[in-house]
Amino acid sequence: MDVAAFGNISKKKIKISQRRYLGSKSKLLEFIEDILKKESVEYKVFADIFGGSGVVAHHFYGRADIIVNDILKSNYLAYVAYFGKGRVRQFYIDKKIEEYNALDSKNITENYFSINFANTYFDRENSLKAGAIRDDIELQYTSGFINNRERAYLITSLIYALDRIANTVGHYDAYRQVTIPKRPLILNHLELKVCKSKSWIYNMDANNLVKLIKPDVIYIDPPYNSRQYSDSYHLLENIAEWKKEPVYGVARKINRSHLKSKYCLKIAGETFSDLIDKIDAKYILVSYNDMGKNGDNRSQSRITDHEIISALERCGDVKIYEKSYKQFTTGRSSKKDLSERIFFCRVGKSPQKRRLQVFVSKGDERREFIKSPLNYTGGKYKLLPQITKFFPDEIETFYDVFCGGANVGINVNCKNVVCIDKDSHVIDLHHLISTVNFDELHQNILAIIDRFGLSHSFVNGYEVYGTESSKGLGQYNKDKYLLLRAEYNKMEQSNEKTLLLLVLIIYAFNNQIRFNSKGDFNLPVGKRDYNGSLRRNLAAFNRAAMEKVIKFQVADFKDILKMPLIEKDFVYLDPPYLLGLASYNENGRWNENHEKKLYWVLDKLNKRGIRFALSNVIEHKGTSNKILKKWIESRGYRLNELDFHYNNSNYQSKAKFDSSLEVLITNY
Ligand SMILES: C[S@@+](CC[C@H](N)C(=O)[O-])C[C@H]1O[C@@H](n2cnc3c(N)ncnc32)[C@H](O)[C@@H]1O
C-alpha cells in the first residue's frame, strides 16, 4: 500500500484511550467520578498508581493535580507524552511524523526490530520501518534535537501505531499464525489536554511509590490475576526500553524478570496489605474484580475480598460500589459481563496518625519504628532511636533478653533474632501474633469481640456506645470485659486461651498485662478498644516478624550462657530495674541478688568476647543504683546516657518531677 496516500491520516489526533489495554477502565470513568461525588469527596491531588493505559489519570487531569505511575516503561512514556511538563514543538514533531510515515521499507536496512520481529506480530516491511523509526527517535534525542517529552511523544505515537496493526488478539503473549494482513504503519499526533493541572509521573513499584506521595485521593487498580502485564506487553516494553536485548521463545519476549508484579503472584494479598498500610491519603479507591472460581485458572483473582476489606478497614470506613460492565479480556475467558466493584475507604480523621510513628533522633536521622502491640511498662519503644544507634552494624544473631513486648527485637536491623522472656504468657502471645497470617488473626479477634459483645469503635464510632472519644469505652465494655476475663482465667492453657488473652489486653487498662499471685489476669477494663492504632501496630508487628527469622523462647536470662553464641552475635538486655516501679518488679520479684547474678552473666559474656548492651536506670528520684555504678567502673564498661524525654515537648517540666537517668551500658 502506498504510504503517501495516508499522509492526511497523520493529522488525526490519538486519544490516550485509543489503545487496547487489559483491564482498562475507560468505561468506568463516570462510575469512579460518581462515587467521589456521592461521597462528597473534595480533592486537589488525585493519584493513579497502577495507571496502565493512563485513562483514569487523564480523566482527572484538569479536575485535579495528578500523580500517575506504572511499573511498565511503555505506559510511563505515554504519561510523559500526555501529561509531561516539557515543551512539545509542534512543527518539529509534524516534520518527524511526516518523515516517518513517508519511509519506504525498500530503503531501510536490516535492524534489531526487523531481525527479531519480521513476520511475527508485524510483516517484514512494517518491522523494518518500526526499527528504523525507533532508532531515529533515539538518535534525535541523544543528539539534542528533541527533548525528553518529545522523545516520549514520538515513542508513544509509534507504540500506538504498532498496537493498532499488530497481528494479535490485543496482547503479545502470542501472535496469530495467519498471513499477516497488509496494514500500513502510520504514526499520528497525540491529543494533548491543555490545562493548568500539575502532574507527577513515576515508573516504579507502587508499594515504594506510596511512601513518597500524599495525595487526597488514591486510586488503586492492580492486576487481578496471575497474568503478568510484562508478559502481555513485552513487545511494547522492548520498544520503550530499546536496549536491543535478545528475545526468547516463539513469542519473542525480552527478559522481564525486573518487571514481575507481586500482584500476580501468590503473595498478592500480603503485598496489597503492605501497600494499604503505607498509604497516606484521605480517600482510597480500589478497583478489584473478584473472578472467584469462574474463568480459567490464570484468570482467577489473586486477592480475596476479605483481604481487601480487612486491609482497608484498618484505615477507615469501607463501602463497596458495584456496576456491571463488559470487560476486555484476553479472549479465552468465558466471562464477558463482569460486575466491577470499587472499594471506597474514607481514611480515619487524621491520616498522619495512621503512619507508623516517626521519631527524629538527636542526630536528625529519620527511621520508622514498629510499636509492639503489647504495652509493657518500661517498654523501649520511645528510646529506640537512641538505643539502636549504639548497636553494631553487623550482627549475626540478635538476642533480646527480657524481651517483653519485643520492641527492640522486632526493630533491630538484623535478620536472625531470638527473643527471650521468662513469662510464658508473653511468649505465647508473641507466637500467636507472629506466626499466623494477619488476616486470620484479625478475624479471630473480631470473632471474640463479637462473641462478648465488646465495642468496635473503629467500625461503629463512639456514639453507638453512648460515649465519645474523651470519655472512652470503659463504661460500655466493663461487664463484657469481666465476663471475658473470667472465662480466660478458668480456661486450660491452649491457643484459644492465648487469643482471649490478646483480646483482654486490647480492652484492658492501658493495654497492659498483669497477673496476680494466683496466676489470674487481674487488670480492670480500659478506655479503648480494637482501634486503628492497635490494628496497625499488630499488623506491622506481624509483618515484620514474618520478614525476619525470629524465635520467641521462654527462658531465664541466665540461659543465655547456654545458647550457641558466636562472636558476631549480640546480646541486648532490658531487665527489671532495681530503681524501677514496673508491674513485673512488684512484690520484690527483682532484687539485688538477681541484679548481681545478671552482672555475673554479663561478665561471662564479656570474657567470651560477646558484645552486649544493657538498658537500665541508674538514677531515679534522688536515689542511685550504687552497685550498678560500681560494677561498671570496676569492669571498665561504657556508660551511655540516654535522654528519656528527648522527644517530649514538656521535657523541662517533666524532668523536675521525674528525674530518671536512663542508660545503656555496653562492653564495646
Ligand atoms: C489493571 S491494570 C490498570 C489499568 C488502568 N487503570 C487503566 O485503566 O488502563 C494494572 C496495571 O498495574 C501495573 N502494575 C502491576 N504491578 C505493579 C506494581 N507493583 N507497581 C506499579 N504498577 C504495577 C501493570 O503494569 C498494569 O498496567
Structural domain includes residue 385: yes
* Claim to verify: residue 155 and residue 144 sit in the same structural domain: yes
* Claim to verify: residue 243 and residue 99 sit in the same structural domain: yes
Mark which of 305, 324, 355 sits at the end of a domain: 355
Helix-strand-coil split of the chain, %, nearest 5: 45, 15, 40
* Claim to verify: residue 245 and residue 384 sit in the same structural domain: no
* Claim to verify: residue 579 and residue 657 sit in the same structural domain: yes
> Of 314, 306, 309, 278, which is closest to residue 456 (Cα–Cα)?
314
* Rounded distance from Cα 80 to ligand 1 centre (Å): 16
Task: Say what angle helices 90-101 and 124-142 make with each other, to 10 degrees.
Answer: 150
Check pocket membership of 61 for ligand 1, CB cut-off 6 A. no
| pLDDT tens by residue, 349-363 | 543 333 333 333 333
* Claim to verify: residue 446 and residue 530 sit in the same structural domain: yes
* Claim to verify: residue 143 and residue 173 sit in the same structural domain: yes
CA distance 112 to 106: 16
| Strand pairing report for 660-666 and 611-620 | antiparallel
| pLDDT tens by residue, 137-150 | 999 998 889 999 99
| Strand pairing report for 189-190 and 13-14 | parallel
* Claim to verify: residue 86 and residue 156 sit in the same structural domain: yes
Check pocket membership of 205 for ligand 1, CB cut-off 6 A. yes
Check pocket membership of 52 for ligand 1, CB cut-off 6 A. yes
Structural domain includes residue 632: yes
Structural domain includes residue 163: yes
Check pocket membership of 232 for ligand 1, CB cut-off 6 A. no
Q: How far is CA 33 from CA 51, 56, 72, 342, 348, in A?
A: 16, 10, 26, 11, 21
Structural domain includes residue 549: no
* Rounded distance from Cα 301 to ligand 1 centre (Å): 14
* Claim to verify: residue 474 and residue 382 sit in the same structural domain: no
| pLDDT tens by residue, 630-642 | 999 999 999 988 8
CATH number of the CATH domain containing 595: 3.40.50.150
Q: How many domains does the chain have?
A: 4
What SS3 string covers 230-272?
HHHCHHHHHHHHCCCCCCECCCCECCCHHHCCHHHCCCHHHHH
CA distance 442 to 530: 10
Atom of ligand 1 nearest to the CA of 271: 19
For ligand 1, pick from 24, 212, 261 the residue to mutate: most ligand atoms within 8 Å of CB: 261
Mark which of 504, 519, 544 sits at the end of a domain: 544
pLDDT of 653 above 90: no
**Residue nearest to ligand 1 atom 19, measured at CA:** 205
Check pocket membership of 53 for ligand 1, CB cut-off 6 A. yes
Check pocket membership of 288 for ligand 1, CB cut-off 6 A. no
Q: Which three cell numbers stand for residue 326?
A: 463488559
> Of 279, 285, 312, 347, which is closest to residue 35 (Cα–Cα)?
285
* Claim to verify: residue 125 and residue 215 sit in the same structural domain: no
| pLDDT tens by residue, 46-92 | 999 999 999 999 999 999 999 999 999 999 999 999 999 889 999 99
* Rounded distance from Cα 514 to ligand 1 centre (Å): 49
| pLDDT tens by residue, 491-519 | 999 999 999 999 999 999 999 999 998 99
CATH number of the CATH domain containing 507: 1.10.1020.10
Mark which of 509, 544, 579 sits at the end of a domain: 544
pLDDT at res. 171: 87
- Residue 239 and residue 200 in contact, taking contact as beta carbons nearer than 8 Å: no
pLDDT at res. 353: 33
Structural domain includes residue 236: yes
* Rounded distance from Cα 537 to ligand 1 centre (Å): 29
pLDDT at res. 652: 39
Other beta carbons within 10 angstroms of residue 424's beta carbon come to 11
Q: Which domain does 649 fall in, by range?
A: 356-422+555-668
* Claim to verify: residue 120 and residue 236 sit in the same structural domain: yes
| pLDDT tens by residue, 254-269 | 999 889 999 999 899 9
pLDDT at res. 357: 33
CA distance 629 to 59: 68
- Residue 434 and residue 546 in contact, taking contact as beta carbons nearer than 8 Å: yes
Other beta carbons within 10 angstroms of residue 599's beta carbon come to 19
Listing DSSP states for 63-108 in one string gives TBEEEEE-S-HHHHHHHHHHH-SS---HHHHHHHHHHHHT--GGG-
Structural domain includes residue 415: yes
Structural domain includes residue 24: no
Residues 6+ apart with CB under 8 A from 50: 69, 70, 206, 220, 221, 222, 223
* Rounded distance from Cα 205 to ligand 1 centre (Å): 10
pLDDT of 582 above 90: no
pLDDT band for 211, please (50, 70, 90 cuts). Answer: confident
Check pocket membership of 221 for ligand 1, CB cut-off 6 A. yes
> Of 459, 456, 397, 400, which is closest to residue 426 (Cα–Cα)?
400
* Claim to verify: residue 375 and residue 351 sit in the same structural domain: no
For ligand 1, pick from 70, 79, 327, 338 the residue to mutate: most ligand atoms within 8 Å of CB: 70
CA distance 51 to 72: 10
Task: Say what angle helices 234-241 and 148-165 make with each other, to 10 degrees.
Answer: 150
pLDDT at res. 1: 33
* Rounded distance from Cα 51 to ligand 1 centre (Å): 6
Q: Which residues pair with 521 in a beta bridge?
A: 515
* Rounded distance from Cα 401 to ligand 1 centre (Å): 45
Q: Which three cell numbers stand for residue 90?
A: 509542534
Phi, psi of 2 (to 5 degrees): -80, 115
End-to-end CA distance of the chain: 80
Structural domain includes residue 611: yes
- Residue 526 and residue 509 in contact, taking contact as beta carbons nearer than 8 Å: yes
pLDDT at res. 291: 58
- Residue 569 and residue 399 in contact, taking contact as beta carbons nearer than 8 Å: yes
Grouping H, G, I as helix, E, B as strand and the rest as coil, residue 129 is helix
pLDDT at res. 376: 75
* Rounded distance from Cα 421 to ligand 1 centre (Å): 45
Question: To 10 degrees, the CA torsion angle through 487, 493, 498, 501?
Answer: 40
pLDDT of 378 above 80: no
Grouping H, G, I as helix, E, B as strand and the rest as coil, residue 490 is helix
* Rounded distance from Cα 193 to ligand 1 centre (Å): 22
pLDDT at res. 624: 85
* Claim to verify: residue 434 and residue 416 sit in the same structural domain: no
pLDDT at res. 352: 36
pLDDT of 580 above 70: no
